[in-house]
Chains A and B, each alone.
Chain A
Amino acid sequence: MIGITSYGGYIPRYRLSRMTIVENMAWYSPVIMAVANGEKSVANWDEDAVSMAVAAARDCMTGRDRNTLDGVSLASTTLPFADRLNAGIVAAALNMKENGVSNADFTSCIKAGTTAAISALGSIEAGNKNSVLVVASDQRRTKMATMVEMFFGDGAAALLFGKDDVIAEFKGSHSVNCDFIDHYRGAGKEFDYGWEERWQRDEGYGKIIPQAIGGFLEKTGMKIDDFDKVIYPCYFGGTHKGIAGKLGINKEKVQNNMHAVCGDTGTAHPFVMFVSALEEAKPGDKLLLASFGQGCDVMAFEVTDRIKDFKGPNGITGSLANRAELVSYQRYSKFRDLIVADLGIRGEANPSSALTVLWRKRKMLLGLVGAKCRKCGTPQFPAMPVCVNPDCWAVNEFDEYEFADKEAGILMFTGDMLAASVDPPATYGLIGYDGGGRTMLDFTDCSLDQVKVGMKVKMSFRKRYFDEKRGFTGYFWKAVPLLEGGDA
């Protein structure tokens, strides 16, 4: 049996109420009021498509051996590197093996996630691979007071495809590919350029998705009524309903487009919606997934008995529950670099990143891999040639030790107003890991007044800096205090 063996999801903690956008920007474009219900998920300033993909991928691989992966595919239209495999950053952050794997980026179209999934399933069907992780993630910047500012949210989701312990069996796919342009983003441009909504709605989503699903049904001989859930993105609420009508799908069988809770997450959205559906699915349920973008991919799955005992990932439901309202539109605008605030002369320091160091220390910097001393058993970060335990000081006698999945406790901390930061005060501290080892990390997804000595933190892969001069995005791990709710 071939199909899905695990899933994962990541919706950023911060949510912006659409009424907040309206209150700040409707003076400029009153039409945005038409879709002002609910809230959108907003990536923190230190998150991007790659960091969110890492979060979803790690979630998907909870309790699984990452070394069994034959490859990771990353689908996104907002990848930080035009030439450096972005999936390779995700793979390094997963501390995957390097030999005998094949990683790939799928990009330039918001249906790239399903395209990557079909490709992964094809290689498994052909017997070339056993296990492929497909992650879709997007963090699209939008101009102020636009409809897409209202519609778009940020997020990521991951699906693990394989042969063993399948929770949803793959039942076939069908694709339509055509050069229909509802919107585009030219190379090097910051924002999408879209044609009028009628075009996007009526000739785009409203025609192409039904055409592709119709084609799938014709090809397989299945009926739309065979499916318990039909999942397709479309942020135009009326059109989303209209597609169901056209295909004769019962209202309750249509998966919600999640406009109210996070907005449309772009390339990630078919997966985000699909994972939400999987989280509620019962054995025997048939799920039909469709994407959209220069055509449409349609994929069918049947949920197996194994879904009953499946647990581990936080998923979309879990990450939606980890929520804090971003009450300031200005802060959101700064996170997305839509407004210019002075970072001060201290913020001008701009050293280049040594590519040699990034290679030599890739396990440390991208994987948060330290060492465990073979003599005294002390976990330590960073790994150095000599053991840190003063009663040991063994030389070069270490095994790799992963800290990324360890929780830690805060030993000491501060909120620093002097440090140049996009979101001051820069909050950081010394943390001690459960099971041993300690280090100092930046904190994120918290406000200073929430942080206390003794509080638990978990590790999160984040964007550390963007070198504007050279176009380089640097990543490292940060500590996220485990907070309940709260506003930001």
Chain B
Amino acid sequence: MATGIRDKVAIIGMGCTKFGERWNDGSEELMVEAFQECLEDAGIERKDIQAAWLGNCFDEAGVGKSALPVSMALRLPNISATRVENYCASGTEAFRGAVYAVASGACDIALAIGVEKLKDIGYGGLPEFSSLMGVVNQLWMANMTAPGAFAMLATGYAAKYGLDINEVKKALAHVSVKSHANGVLNPKAHLRKIVTEEQVLNAPQIAYPLGLFDCCGVSDGSACAIVTTPEIAKSLGKKDLVSVKALQLSLSNGTEFAYDWDGAHFITTSKASTAAYKEAGIKNPREEISMMEVHDCFSITELVTMEDLHISERGQAPKDVMDGFYDLDGGVPCQVDGGLKCFGHPIGASGLRMLYEMYLQLHGRAGDRQLKDPKIGLTHNLGGFPFMNVCSIAIVGKYGA
């Protein structure tokens, strides 16, 4: 009988670069920058790391195949290293690899690092992926981009709850306004500018009904974590441990796309969050979760995710959003560091960047945006498309909480 991951692994160090258009830095520079901070934070030496996982999505446009880029860049001591890719869940997947390795007893100390260098392609948005979806899919799938694929969800959501699309857009505007307000407080965030709901609503349309401010930043960056067992962490003199409470992954199997789905929620997120709460021993997430970093690649993704995390009731996310429940001073502050929206979204790094914020908050090191005494933080990634996706959820918190 599986006992789950709760409190079996502790995070002893984390690092994260400033996200943004890092024109003068490549993947190597970004990884080293995050890694040096992480190593110093952990207070260990490079040779103490026994295994590494690299999360990276668009290897074709960035690091290239295999985990050699991380082994070479960090001059890892010929240890095992594995590159993982699972769309936008790639960073959390790297973390899962490292955490499971430690939990299994296969190694004592492991590294998870994510990186994405997106600004080497010469055009806005993510790299064109139509030819990266397989030889069959490229011959028939719709001519989609990420904003378009997620924008559809807004039409599905409005139809399901009988809402005027403009009502939905208003709530979406508040989602982005809130994240911009949080991003201003974060020196490492890509976008650090207040925006108004009016600005958001009047922005140029990218994919109906989403406008420019409904879309997250496309950024370069890297983030990493060093994990070990609570026992080893204590033996290293670590106090106020941050431990892993749950790690869950859920993938679509074609149901949404080809069978039955309301077009207004994420089947995977709904399942992964339920499993994660069970693993973490959380009964009432609306009360027990102190803070969240969710996958706000687009404002509509965040809005719908609030319901799939079972924090807002079905159909009630717009109301909770408008009530400020997810604002920095709300019931469950969300996108505390600015989110993908403003911190930025270097895909392979994003899951680890979210954990970085939870880790800083739990240690009381989050500066101007520090929340009062957070105990449990949830991170969420959604890779792919609303109708066909990979969802990862991590819950971390104070050890023993």
A binds B: yes
Partner among A358, A389, A440, A448 whose Cβ is within 8 Å of the Cβ of B208: A448
Partner among A349, A382, A414 whose Cβ is within 8 Å of the Cβ of B130: A349
With both chains docked as a complex, state the minimum distance between the C-beta of A243 and any C-beta of chain B, in angstroms. Answer: 47
Cβ–Cβ contact B142 & A415, under 8 A: no
Find the residue from A344, A382, A416 having the highest chain B CB count within 10 A: A416
Cβ–Cβ contact A346 & B128, under 8 A: yes
| Complex Cα spacing A353 to B138, Å | 8
With both chains docked as a complex, state the minimum distance between the C-beta of B388 and any C-beta of chain A, in angstroms. Answer: 9
Q: Which residues of A sit under 8 angstroms from B209, Cβ to Cβ?
A: 414
Question: Does chain B have a CB within 8 A of A438?
Answer: yes
Question: Does chain A have a CB within 8 A of B136?
Answer: yes
Question: Does chain A have a CB within 8 A of B122?
Answer: yes
Q: Contacts A349-B128, A349-B131: A414 and B155 contacting too (C-beta < 8 A)?
A: yes
Partner among A380, A389, A428, A438 whose Cβ is within 8 Å of the Cβ of B144: A428
Cβ–Cβ contact B147 & A412, under 8 A: no
Q: Which residues of B sit under 8 angstroms from A413, Cβ to Cβ?
A: 152, 155, 208
Question: Does chain B have a CB within 8 A of A417?
Answer: yes
Cβ–Cβ contact A418 & B139, under 8 A: no
Question: Could you give, for residues 234-245 of chain A, a 1 whenever the CB lies within 8 Å of some chain B CB and a 0 otherwise?
Answer: 000000000000
With both chains docked as a complex, state the minimum distance between the C-beta of B165 and any C-beta of chain A, in angstroms. Answer: 10
Partner among A344, A361, A438 whose Cβ is within 8 Å of the Cβ of B123: A344
Question: Does chain A have a CB within 8 A of B254?
Answer: yes
Partner among B142, B147, B263 whose Cβ is within 8 Å of the Cβ of A441: B142
Cβ–Cβ contact A365 & B159, under 8 A: no
With both chains docked as a complex, state the minimum distance between the C-beta of B307 and any C-beta of chain A, in angstroms. Answer: 16
With both chains docked as a complex, state the minimum distance between the C-beta of B213 and any C-beta of chain A, in angstroms. Answer: 14
Cβ–Cβ contact B123 & A412, under 8 A: no
With both chains docked as a complex, state the minimum distance between the C-beta of A236 and any C-beta of chain B, in angstroms. Answer: 41
| Complex Cα spacing A349 to B133, Å | 13
Question: Could you give, for residues 132-159 of chain B, a 1 whenever the CB lies within 8 Å of some chain A CB and a 0 otherwise?
Answer: 0001101111111101110111011011
Question: Does chain B have a CB within 8 A of A85?
Answer: no
Cβ–Cβ contact A388 & B254, under 8 A: yes
Closest to B386 in A: A412
Cβ–Cβ contact A364 & B259, under 8 A: no
Cβ–Cβ contact B143 & A439, under 8 A: no
Cβ–Cβ contact B259 & A414, under 8 A: no
Q: Which residues of B sit under 8 angstroms from A361, Cβ to Cβ?
A: 136, 139
Closest to B263 in A: A412
Q: Contacts A428-B143, A440-B141, A442-B142: A418 and B263 contacting too (C-beta < 8 A)?
A: no
Query: Which residues of B from 210 to 233 have beta carbons under 8 Å from A?
Result: 210
Cβ–Cβ contact A412 & B152, under 8 A: yes
With both chains docked as a complex, state the minimum distance between the C-beta of A452 and any C-beta of chain B, in angstroms. Answer: 9
The stretch from A55-63, A71-79, A419-427 touching chain B is A419-427
| Complex Cα spacing A448 to B210, Å | 13
Cβ–Cβ contact B255 & A412, under 8 A: no
Q: Which residues of B sit under 8 angstroms from A419, Cβ to Cβ?
A: 143-145, 148
| Complex Cα spacing A437 to B255, Å | 10
Question: Does chain A have a CB within 8 A of B253?
Answer: yes
Question: Does chain A have a CB within 8 A of B207?
Answer: yes
Question: Does chain A have a CB within 8 A of B258?
Answer: yes
Cβ–Cβ contact A411 & B255, under 8 A: no
Counted as pairs of residues, one from A and one from B, with CB atoms less than 8 Å apart, the total is 139
Q: Which residues of A sit under 8 angstroms from B236, Cβ to Cβ?
A: none
Question: Could you give, for residues 378-389 of chain A, a 1 whenever the CB lies within 8 Å of some chain B CB and a 0 otherwise?
Answer: 101110100011
Cβ–Cβ contact A453 & B136, under 8 A: no
With both chains docked as a complex, state the minimum distance between the C-beta of A444 and any C-beta of chain B, in angstroms. Answer: 11
Question: Does chain A have a CB within 8 A of B125?
Answer: yes
Cβ–Cβ contact A418 & B145, under 8 A: yes
| Complex Cα spacing A381 to B210, Å | 28
Cβ–Cβ contact B259 & A388, under 8 A: yes
Partner among A348, A429, A439, A448 whose Cβ is within 8 Å of the Cβ of B257: A439
Cβ–Cβ contact B131 & A351, under 8 A: yes
Closest to B264 in A: A412
Cβ–Cβ contact A418 & B153, under 8 A: no
With both chains docked as a complex, state the minimum distance between the C-beta of A362 and any C-beta of chain B, in angstroms. Answer: 11
With both chains docked as a complex, state the minimum distance between the C-beta of A27 and any C-beta of chain B, in angstroms. Answer: 34
Q: Contacts A364-B140, A448-B208: A453 and B122 contacting too (C-beta < 8 A)?
A: no
Cβ–Cβ contact B139 & A357, under 8 A: yes
| Complex Cα spacing A342 to B159, Å | 35
Q: Which residues of A sit under 8 angstroms from B210, Cβ to Cβ?
A: 414
Question: Does chain B have a CB within 8 A of A488?
Answer: no
Question: Does chain A have a CB within 8 A of B205?
Answer: yes
Q: Which residues of B sit under 8 angstroms from A476, Cβ to Cβ?
A: 139-140
Q: Which residues of B sit under 8 angstroms from A426, Cβ to Cβ?
A: 142-144, 148
Question: Does chain A have a CB within 8 A of B121?
Answer: yes
Q: Which residues of A sit under 8 angstroms from B131, Cβ to Cβ?
A: 349, 351
Question: Could you give, for residues 349-392 of chain A, a 1 whenever the CB lies within 8 Å of some chain B CB and a 0 otherwise?
Answer: 10101100110010011000000000000101110100011100
Q: Which residues of B sit under 8 angstroms from A358, Cβ to Cβ?
A: 139
Q: Which residues of B sit under 8 angstroms from A411, Cβ to Cβ?
A: 156, 159, 263
Question: Does chain A have a CB within 8 A of B387?
Answer: yes
Q: Which residues of B sit under 8 angstroms from A441, Cβ to Cβ?
A: 142
Partner among A351, A412, A418 whose Cβ is within 8 Å of the Cβ of B125: A418
Find the residue from A358, A414, A415, A453 having the highest chain B CB count within 10 A: A414
| Complex Cα spacing A389 to B207, Å | 31
Cβ–Cβ contact B125 & A346, under 8 A: yes
Cβ–Cβ contact A425 & B207, under 8 A: yes
Find the residue from A345, A419, A437 having the highest chain B CB count within 10 A: A419
Question: Does chain A have a CB within 8 A of B79?
Answer: no
Cβ–Cβ contact B140 & A430, under 8 A: no
Question: Does chain B have a CB within 8 A of A474?
Answer: yes
Cβ–Cβ contact A420 & B253, under 8 A: no
| Complex Cα spacing A381 to B258, Å | 6
With both chains docked as a complex, state the minimum distance between the C-beta of A483 and any C-beta of chain B, in angstroms. Answer: 17
Question: Does chain A have a CB within 8 A of B194?
Answer: no
Cβ–Cβ contact A346 & B155, under 8 A: no
Q: Which residues of B sit under 8 angstroms from A421, Cβ to Cβ?
A: 143
With both chains docked as a complex, state the minimum distance between the C-beta of B256 and any C-beta of chain A, in angstroms. Answer: 8
Partner among A351, A389, A453 whose Cβ is within 8 Å of the Cβ of B156: A453
Question: Does chain B have a CB within 8 A of A454?
Answer: yes
Question: Does chain A have a CB within 8 A of B360?
Answer: no
Question: Does chain A have a CB within 8 A of B206?
Answer: yes
Question: Does chain B have a CB within 8 A of A141?
Answer: no
Q: Which residues of A sit under 8 angstroms from B139, Cβ to Cβ?
A: 353-354, 357-358, 361, 365, 464, 474, 476
Query: Which residues of B from 249 to 267 have beta carbons under 8 Å from A?
Result: 253-255, 257-260, 263
Q: List 15 A-B contacts (CB under 8 A).
A: A346-B125, A349-B128, A354-B135, A365-B140, A390-B253, A414-B209, A416-B143, A418-B147, A418-B207, A419-B145, A426-B144, A428-B144, A429-B152, A430-B387, A440-B257
Q: What would 19 more interface pairs be, CB under 8 Å, given A388-B254, A418-B145, A440-B387?
A: A361-B139, A364-B140, A365-B139, A382-B258, A388-B259, A390-B255, A411-B263, A412-B263, A414-B148, A414-B210, A415-B148, A415-B207, A416-B144, A416-B151, A417-B205, A417-B207, A420-B143, A442-B143, A476-B139
Query: 6 closest pairs, A vs B, by CB?
Result: A416-B148, A412-B156, A428-B142, A351-B131, A414-B151, A453-B159
